Amino acid sequence: MADTSVNGAVTAAAASPLNKPPHSGKPKRPNYNVIHADPLPVVLYHSPTLIPHNPISLLHHLYLYFFPPVQSHKITYIGVFSPVTMSVEIRDPAAVLDLWNKGFWGKGSLSRSEPTWLNREMRRLGDTQVGETSEELTRRRRDQRKEMKKERARKEKEELQKIKDAEAKIKEDNGSVSNGKPIIADSKVVVELEAEISGLVETVTGPTHPSIPTEEPGLPTPPPSSDELNISDAESKTDIVNIGSETLPVSVPPTSESPSAQPAKVVRFDSNTSTKEIPVQKKVTVQNQEHLQLMLSEAFFLTYALGILSVTTADSTKPLSLPEVFKLFLRYSTFPPLPESSASLTNFNPDNSFLINYAVYHHFRSLGWVVKSGVKFSVDYLLYKRGPVFSHAEFGILIVPSYSRWEGREENVGKEWYWLHSITRVNSQVKKTVVLVYVDVPTADDVKGWDSETDGLKKVLGKYKIREVALRRWIPGRNRE
């Protein structure tokens, strides 16, 4: 039997899908699990389940091994080496988006990390179809923290004034007033509190961001005059709706109950009436001036390990071979760059910084970590578990070359103890663990004759031994035992 009571009607109305709570207005975040589903920019295919006791399954897997359905390691992206920035530039917008979405490779030349300059420029020009970028979210959080500090300073100032008023009243009641001014008993506490409030106010007080407009409060609309109510018969079929400072005519169809010539209606909203602004859809076209910058280690990993990047120079569009790319990166791994005559592939120095850094980069990338530059936190690399959009970096990598196989060379990095202490302090403040990565550098005799072998570069990289040591900052006040 249906419930026809009042409570039943209210319950049915509340359960109706039309009576949903209003939307909070918070912009919907993109689904990063779908956007960054592929960890590497290679074409993958799923093989069927291997059944060891089924010969057909074994034959199927052997066939897929020798004759794969797709060729994953093929040249897909083209980069231009820049000797000015000592990086490889990717200028194709489709390639930039693909490399960032599939493994977070490189950084935007006009952005902090993700290449979002185009979206920020379109939003600045008024495009309503582009969402917020990471830089805008960071700036908004900083503004919110600044407003919170202002509010805290205001409340502390009010509490201080209450304390002063209470003490002044007590002194007046006791008759201990000197020259009309109350004598405060604990003046040191009050002075310290005033200094703290003044410092907090100076910290949060600053010029507002120029790109954030400020809204002025609207003025109330004056009441209609008698001239506005005297409208001719020709305008009798329109209603005048006044919102703010604009008057919009709204046509009203005539009805049988109302005469054809009736006085017009004037609807005005005062300042207490809440209005909802409907945003105007706008599309802006801007030429993208940003490119993707790849570190030398990133570019060589895409060229050598994955085989999907072709590197050219600004002077020629002809792709460089792998030995030529290797020689070019060896030259420009130091500043100033090495002369071309000293960079020999037959007799190169295994202590080259590019080889040491690439050995570490290749090691962690092969283990599934997302490796980014760590210059912001005074380390060589940062390790992300999935990527910058999912979480912060968990580890900061410090590369320490080790020369145990070099005769007559001391194991000394040339740094003082406070250098390491300052790095651990910086990274502990941002909740990162510093990892010392010792790279055992081979000698020149160990890598001699690598260019005459079939895969000599693999043999060279195999000579570098890597071991990790995780550090934890020791705080005397907390780590007593």
Locate 3 and state its tokens: 């419930």
- Integer Cα distance of 453 and 401 in angstroms: 26
CA 35 – CA 102 distance, rounded (Å)? 8
Cβ within 8 Å of residue 203, ≥6 positions away = 149
Sort 187 into a burial class: Cβ within 10 Å, 0-12 / 13-18 / 19+: exposed
As a dihedral over the C-alpha atoms of residue 204, residue 205, residue 206, residue 207, rounded to 10 degrees, the angle is: 120
Contact 311, 87 (CB under 8 A): no
Q: Which of 124, 125, 99 is CA-nearest to residue 114?
A: 99
Query: Using CA of residue 421, residue 426, residue 428, residue 432, what is the dihedral sign?
Result: negative
143 half-sphere exposure, CB direction, 13 A CA radius:
12
Pairing state between β 292-294 and 266-268: unpaired
d(CA 310, CA 77): 6
Give catalytic residue positions. 384, 392, 432
Three-class SS of residue 278? coil
Q: How many residues does the chain have?
A: 481
Distance from C-alpha of 439 to C-alpha of 406, rounded to nearest angstrom: 13
Q: For the stretch 138-165, what's the b/e string if a residue is b when 16 or more beta carbons lie within 10 angstroms of its beta carbon?
A: eeeeeeeeeeeeeeebeebbeebeeeee
Which residue intervals of 102-133 are DSSP H helices? 117-124
Question: Token match 């050995």: residue?
Answer: 359
Q: Who contacts 305 (Cβ-Cβ below 8 Å, separation ≥6)?
A: 362, 365, 366
User: DSSP assignment of 312-376, as one string?
Assistant: E-SS--SPPPHHHHHHHHHHTTSSSPPPTTT--SSS--TT-HHHHHHHHHHHHHHTT-EEEE-GG
Ordered DSSP codes for 179-212: TTEEPPS-HHHHHHHHHHHHHHHHHH--PPPTTS
116: buried, middle or exposed (CB in 10 Å: 19+, 13-18, 0-12)?
A: buried
> CB neighbours (10 Å) of residue 68?
12
CA–CA distance, 405 with 48 (Å, rounded to integer): 47
